[in-house]
Structure 1
Amino acid sequence: MRTHTEPGREPRMSQEEFRSLYRRLREQAGDVSHSRGTLDTITPATVRAAAGEVRSGRTVTLAAPVETRPGPDNPEPAGHRITSPPEAQGGTSGLHFATDRFSMNIHGDADSHLDALCHIAYDGTLHGGIPAATVTAAGATALSVEVAHDGIVGRGVLLDIPRLRGVPWLEPGDHVTAAETAQHVRVGQGDLLFVRVGHRRRRSESGPWDAAHARAGLHPSAMEFLAERRVAVLGGDGNNDTASAATGSTASPAWYAARPTRR
């Protein structure tokens, strides 16, 4: 897997080239209509191996702060309010509880979240060829986030692209096609792969922008690498795929091509 170092120069895919990639990955996956998707690559053996690599025991959060103010990348921010403050419960003596209410547009460009396999449909189907009609206003009858109800445990692999290129972040529109060899790691079956493009740092230092139409991320061709290595989870500090899309009018091409569970 090579390292792409010229921002924005990766060849664009035609719609037919993208459909060809999509078909190859579907055929390679085989019959996965009743599986947990790429989470099936995590086995007791891969979990034991991952646990054996723990050295310091230090934990690092991958969550981003929940945004409650509107911005160009978050026009419908989360809402949070205290519904029953203790001081409003009739005096200061005795036992009282503070209660609150929280509402959130999960699939935005500002808040961290984990997508389910039913999140994206392409040509009328979800992951594994399941009809998109299985997702209704009442919920999903297949491929919901419940497939991960036991939690996700495995070896985490971080590919830090800005550090590799010697920059604080990648500019919106830049494509990531590699980094593994240059960072002296090997991505393997069942790994939880995290690709940092510097999105959060750019947002923190330069302010939010319309990330739905301009962001750095993976080129669709990188999906073949993920499929070959049988990666279980793909995550990142942004949306993981580039915008403007490298496939013409197809938005979020990475998710149509491989649909791994993500951040």
Structure 2
Amino acid sequence: MSANNISISQILKEAPKNWGRWGAEDELGAVNYLDQIQVLRGIASVQSGRVFTLGCPIARKEGDPVWPGRSQPGHHMTQDHGTYCCGKLQPLGAGLEYADDVIYMAVQGSTQFDALGHVWYDDQVYNGFDANTTIDGMEKCSIMPIAEHGVVGRGILLDVARFKGKKNLDKGEEITLEDLLATAKAQGVTIEKRDILLIRTGWLSVFYNQGSSAFYEGDFNEPGLTYTPELVQWFYDMEIPAFGTDTIANEQTVSCRTGTALPLHGALLRNLGVSFNEINWLEDLAEDCANDNQYTFLYAAAPLKIVQGTGAPVNPVVIK
């Protein structure tokens, strides 16, 4: 199927939607599923108290994994001891000195959450709001509703790369619904309704272990899920509130099924209101899960409260 003769609207014509499910003014989407019961279900998964943070380092001198075309985060000191040594600043009372710095980055230039209005088609964002509401700031479906609510519940790691016997999946390799279910079965864990999914491909380890040239070489095409009617119906039926991966876009860059770019952003983010948590470091968590065979945990994340933002950085916390 060629991207030249089919539109995303045609591809997703029969796909389910959650528009109106939580009212005509809803901007939170499937995170509405994460009520107090889901938080307590996540807490009930905690056994050892071990903590893992999933955020990637920001503004490394060697560079960070970002979507092609986005600028690298820039970190700069605005004052430090040298500022005092050269006489540009004088110490505060009693000789107190301090350092300060700034960072310039795309709000989606590191581990982050997408706002529900980040991607759209047919001039409508999630819940049917007009795409004109994105002009000069997200008036509707910005990152703020997700940031204010938080994303907390029972998380489950699906280590697809390990299940397939690979350090990392290949460029553009598809993860099917059957792969997700088979991975869970091999791990001895059951995916339950309203679980927050973390799907490991091993792809970010290519960037950190082999360098940016290996990560970006040729046509950029990450491995991952892609649109099929069965997969999207499963997300809908299972009431999945959010999912994260160790890739930049949480899905195949170019779908091997449709030939189009990022169709799941349309099917899941725009139509179902499923939150996308992208660019997660999952290697340490995956190693620990393989060692103790515990693949469920409390997942807690709160993106920064960027007013009218299309997304926001986050450092998700997993407690096993």
Q: TM-score range by the shorter chain?
A: 0.7 to 0.9
Q: How does 1:94-109 map to 2 (within 5 A)?
A: 94-108=95-109
Q: Distance in 2 between matches of 1:158 and 1:223?
A: 19
Partner in structure 2 of residue 3 of structure 1: none
Q: Contact 2:15 / 2:267 at 8 angstroms: preserved in 1?
A: no
Aligned: 1:84 with 2:79: yes
CA 1:18–1:201 in 2, change beyond 3 Å: closer, same or farther? farther
Q: How does 1:101-250 map to 2 (within 5 A)?
A: 101-108=102-109, 111-137=110-136, 139-148=137-146, 149-177=148-176, 178-180=179-181, 181-208=185-212, 209-210=215-216, 213-221=220-228, 222-238=231-247, 239-246=249-256, 248=258, 250=260
Letter matched to residue 213 of structure 1: F
User: What stretches of structure 1 of length at least 5 have no aligned partner?
Assistant: 1-10
| Cα displacement (A) at 1:24 | 2.3
Scaled by the length of structure 2, the TM-score of the pair is 0.70
Q: Contact 1:41 / 1:189 at 8 angstroms: preserved in 2?
A: no
| Cα displacement (A) at 1:193 | 0.7
Partner in structure 2 of residue 5 of structure 1: none
Partner in structure 1 of residue 31 of structure 2: 39
Letter matched to residue 174 of structure 2: H
Higher normalized contact order (CA 8 Å, seq sep 6+, divided by chain length)? 2
CA RMSD of aligned residues (A): 2.7
Query: 2:266 aligned to 231, 249, 256, which one?
Result: 256
Post-superposition Cα deviations, 1:31-88, rounded to whole Å, max 9, x if no partner, equal: 1442210101112111112111111111111111124556895551001101011331
User: What stretches of structure 2 of length at least 5 have no aligned partner?
Assistant: 278-320
Q: Distance in 2 between matches of 1:84 and 1:206?
A: 35
Q: Distance in 2 between matches of 1:202 and 1:20?
A: 32
Letter matched to residue 204 of structure 2: R
Q: Secondary structure at the match of 2:145?
A: helix
Q: Contact 2:19 / 2:126 at 8 angstroms: preserved in 1?
A: no
| Cα displacement (A) at 1:21 | 3.6
Q: Secondary structure at the match of 2:51?
A: coil
| Cα displacement (A) at 1:30 | 4.3
Q: Distance in 1 between matches of 2:2 and 2:190?
A: 27
Letter matched to residue 85 of structure 1: D
| Cα displacement (A) at 1:113 | 1.1
Q: How does 1:1-16 map to 2 (within 5 A)?
A: 15=6
Letter matched to residue 74 of structure 2: G
Q: Distance in 1 between matches of 2:52 and 2:9?
A: 36
Q: How many aligned positions are there? A: 248
Post-superposition Cα deviations, 1:96-148, rounded to whole Å, max 9, x if no partner, equal: 1211111102335xx221111011011211111211111122x1111111112
